[in-house]
């Protein structure tokens, strides 16, 4: 079907933490074994975080060769086999493309450095002389998203030792780790490198691309000072700063138009989804115009606090912004960069962390989440989300209600954020702990060798897939049913209307399944909403005295007490 992504349930796999066929890191053959599990769960597509050749300073988001598989994860033949098996299970495959920066081990960066100051190869990246009398201050005051300055010196790259460059004072730009030099999209060689990469994976049958740091590729060439962190000023109404010279520059859109025309050569069923941290939903919608990408992650939704009025307003405004450009809305509550939803929702006043403001991790000395509260809220919010029209992203382990690992010892942490901030920011390892598959096996069945690159909490047997498969009341059973209900009623293609008659003092939305575009989403009244420590109550009803589909009710009190539930309604919370 064309435009399969419009209502797809897309499951994010973080390869190093999903399933291993040997050793402490997850592998591609390990993932390939799990497509029966994924099919049973009811996902339509998988998105794989990077598995390309990489020195792994940023868990593979530092790519040394975009067109080959890191031997730690397998071989190119393993990737081809994974794609084939996914397709045989009726699932699409999205791979990650990392076009804002390469690894410092990428051929183009090595060539650029070793060619020496002033060589044309240097135009592929951002090399600049330093400021100050001796040139020993960074060229601008920009900050790395992982902490510290966004510039490092050529002479400090480990492999320049013993070359003429070991005395070179020139700086290079890296918005992330110093091992991740930003590429210069003004350079034709960069366009060629990524066009080649996109064709390479499309030729191997990949159905879509997730574009990392999609807001960042174009920089204001004047490189004006800007001493903030992009992530900290996003969605933060308290911070008012001039526009970022390294984010959301108009020129990024030319790049996506170029890529879209490549994708379209392969037919109308290949897609791109933008990871773009921009200020407004209107800015985000510009990435999904008809000649650019098909989707962009809705991070404002993911960054929302636990308040019915905010969540409800975001549902409306998100639908309005994407409707205006004819794109599907995406709904996402977690990924490999944010605190796991079950934990952050169990702490008052904590939102997503890292990209979406807030702490990047939760450590042993921090206030610990109320696990039961967090899991209940996460389940309620997911249930609401699964009932919305558009595409629904799940991060591995959300279906198991895995919590953030909050007790990781400092020496086990690998996220560069931890090292670059001297431990002041914990980083994202807590949401990346390997999946528990079997309660009674070493490393909970993650690897046949009983190893796991991050320690798994000792009590994770209760979250293990086999434990949950044996329990009809488990989170896994619940999410499986949820995804099947969503599919059965075609909710992803539905339209929304408000149903004040069912709202009590909350908000009720009815999804008119299959009635796409006819709902009056975005035009609803501003009915009073509840706030405070609210419960989101979600009801499915079969039969429900409503037109079709189901009702989603946001309410501050149990539905029974409010007397707003139609008779014969099954309440799943």
Catalytic residues: 212, 265
Instruction: Please check whether residue 20 is in contact with residue 30, taking contact to mean a CB–CB distance below 8 angstroms.
Output: yes
CB of 325 to ligand GLO, least distance (A): 23
HSE of 2 in the Cβ direction (CA atoms, 13 Å)? 4
CB of 283 to ligand GLO, least distance (A): 17
**DSSP assignment letter at 57:** T
3-class secondary-structure state, position 570: strand
β-strand partners of 209: 95, 272
Q: Which of 207, 337, 404, 429 binds ligand GLO (CB under 6 A)?
A: 337
Residue 425 as a binder of ligand GLO (CB under 6 A): the answer is no
CB of 393 to ligand GLO, least distance (A): 13
CB of 101 to ligand GLO, least distance (A): 7
Q: Closer CB to ligand GLO, residue 91 or residue 98?
A: 98
Q: Closer CB to ligand GLO, residue 26 or residue 506?
A: 26
Q: What single string gives the DSSP state of each residue in 440-484?
A: TSGGGGS-TTS--SSPPPGGGGGG-HHHHHT-TTSHHHHHHHHHH
**Site mask, ligand GLO, residues 443-482, x = CB under 6 A?**
----------------------------------------
User: Which residue, 230, 263, 265, 264, is CA-closest to 248?
Assistant: 230
Q: Closer CB to ligand GLO, residue 316 or residue 425?
A: 425
**Site mask, ligand GLO, residues 260-299, x = CB under 6 A?**
---------------x------------------------
Q: Which of 157, 213, 217, 230 binds ligand GLO (CB under 6 A)?
A: 213
CB of 229 to ligand GLO, least distance (A): 12
Instruction: Please check whether residue 82 is in contact with residue 32, taking contact to mean a CB–CB distance below 8 angstroms.
Output: yes
CA 394 to chain centroid? 9
Instruction: Please check whether residue 517 is in contact with residue 6, taking contact to mean a CB–CB distance below 8 angstroms.
Output: no
Residues 6+ apart with CB under 8 A from 163: 114
Instruction: Please check whether residue 179 is in contact with residue 159, taking contact to mean a CB–CB distance below 8 angstroms.
Output: no
Dist CA 468 CA 475 (whole Å): 7
Helix runs in 475-551, H state only: 475-488
Q: How many residues bind ligand GLO (CB under 6 A)?
A: 9
Residues 6+ apart with CB under 8 A from 192: none
**DSSP assignment letter at 492:** G
Residue 231 as a binder of ligand GLO (CB under 6 A): the answer is no
Q: Closer CB to ligand GLO, residue 41 or residue 213?
A: 213
Q: Closer CB to ligand GLO, residue 360 or residue 555?
A: 360
Residue 58 as a binder of ligand GLO (CB under 6 A): the answer is yes
Dist CA 416 CA 155 (whole Å): 20
Q: Closer CB to ligand GLO, residue 47 or residue 463?
A: 47
Q: Closer CB to ligand GLO, residue 12 or residue 329?
A: 12
Q: Closer CB to ligand GLO, residue 6 or residue 428?
A: 428
**Site mask, ligand GLO, residues 168-207, x = CB under 6 A?**
--------x-------------------------------
b/e per residue 227-250 (b: at least 16 CB within 10 A): eebbbebbbeeeeeeeebbbbbbe
CB of 77 to ligand GLO, least distance (A): 26
**DSSP assignment letter at 256:** H
CB of 167 to ligand GLO, least distance (A): 30
Q: Which tokens belong to 498?
A: 């408000």
β-strand partners of 95: 48, 209
Residue 212 as a binder of ligand GLO (CB under 6 A): the answer is yes
**Site mask, ligand GLO, residues 60-99, x = CB under 6 A?**
-x------------------------------------x-
Residues near ligand GLO, by CB under 6 A: 58, 61, 98, 176, 212-213, 275, 336-337
């Amino acid at each position: 079907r064309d435009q399969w992504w419009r209502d797809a349930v897309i499951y994010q796999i973080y390869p190093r933490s999903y399933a291993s066929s040997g050793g402490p890191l997850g592998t591609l053959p390990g993932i390939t074994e799990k497509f029966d599990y994924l099919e049973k769960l009811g996902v339509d597509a998988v998105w794989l975080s990077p598995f390309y050749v990489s020195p792994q300073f940023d868990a593979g988001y530092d790519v040394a060769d975009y067109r080959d598989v890191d031997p730690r994860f397998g071989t190119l033949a393993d990737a081809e086999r994974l794609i084939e098996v996914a397709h045989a299970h009726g699932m699409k495959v999205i791979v990650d493309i990392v076009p804002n920066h390469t690894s410092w081990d990428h051929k183009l960066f090595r060539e650029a450095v070793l060619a020496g100051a002033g060589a044309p190869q240097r135009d592929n990246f951002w090399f600049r002389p330093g400021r100050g009398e001796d040139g020993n201050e960074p060229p601008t005051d920009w900050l790395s998203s992982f902490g510290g300055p966004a510039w490092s010196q050529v002479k400090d790259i480990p492999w320049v030792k013993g070359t003429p460059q070991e005395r070179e004072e020139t700086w290079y730009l890296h918005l992330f780790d110093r091992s991740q030099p930003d590429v210069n999209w003004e350079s034709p060689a960069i366009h060629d490198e990524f066009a080649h990469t996109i064709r390479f994976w499309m030729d191997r049958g990949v159905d879509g691309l997730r574009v990392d740091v999609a807001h960042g590729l174009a920089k204001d060439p004047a490189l004006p000072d800007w001493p903030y962190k992009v992530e900290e000023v996003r969605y933060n109404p308290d911070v008012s700063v001039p526009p970022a010279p390294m984010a959301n520059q108009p020129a990024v859109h030319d790049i996506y138009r170029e890529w879209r025309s490549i994708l379209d050569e392969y037919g109308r069923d290949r897609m791109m989804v933008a990871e773009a941290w921009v200020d407004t939903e209107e800015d985000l919608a510009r990435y999904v115009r008809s000649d650019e990408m098909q989707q962009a992650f809705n991070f404002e939704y993911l960054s929302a606090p636990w308040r019915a009025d905010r969540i409800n307003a975001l549902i409306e405004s998100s639908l309005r912004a994407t409707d205006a450009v004819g794109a599907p809305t995406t709904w996402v509550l977690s990924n490999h960069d944010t605190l796991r939803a079950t934990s952050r929702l169990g702490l008052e006043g904590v939102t997503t962390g890292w990209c979406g403001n807030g702490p990047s991790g939760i450590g042993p000395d921090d206030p610990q989440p109320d696990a039961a509260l967090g899991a209940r809220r996460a389940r309620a919010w997911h249930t609401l989300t699964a009932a919305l029209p558009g595409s629904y992203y799940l991060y591995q382990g959300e279906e198991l209600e895995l919590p953030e690992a909050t007790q990781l010892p400092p020496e086990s942490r690998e996220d560069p954020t931890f090292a670059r901030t001297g431990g002041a920011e914990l980083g994202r390892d807590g949401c990346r702990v390997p999946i528990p598959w079997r309660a009674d096996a070493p490393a909970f069945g993650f690897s046949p060798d009983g190893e796991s690159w991050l320690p798994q909490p000792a009590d994770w047997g209760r979250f293990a897939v086999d434990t949950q498969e044996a329990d009809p009341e488990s989170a896994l059973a619940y999410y499986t049913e949820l995804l099947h209900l969503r599919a059965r009623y075609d909710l992803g293609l539905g339209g929304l209307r408000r149903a004040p008659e069912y709202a009590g003092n909350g908000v009720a939305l009815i999804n008119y399944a299959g009635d796409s575009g006819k709902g009056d989403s975005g035009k609803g009244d501003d009915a009073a909403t509840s706030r405070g420590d609210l419960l989101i109550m979600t009801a499915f009803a079969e039969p429900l005295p409503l037109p079709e589909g189901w009702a989603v009710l946001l309410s501050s009190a149990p539905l029974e007490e409010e007397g707003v539930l139609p008779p014969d309604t099954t309440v799943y919370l």
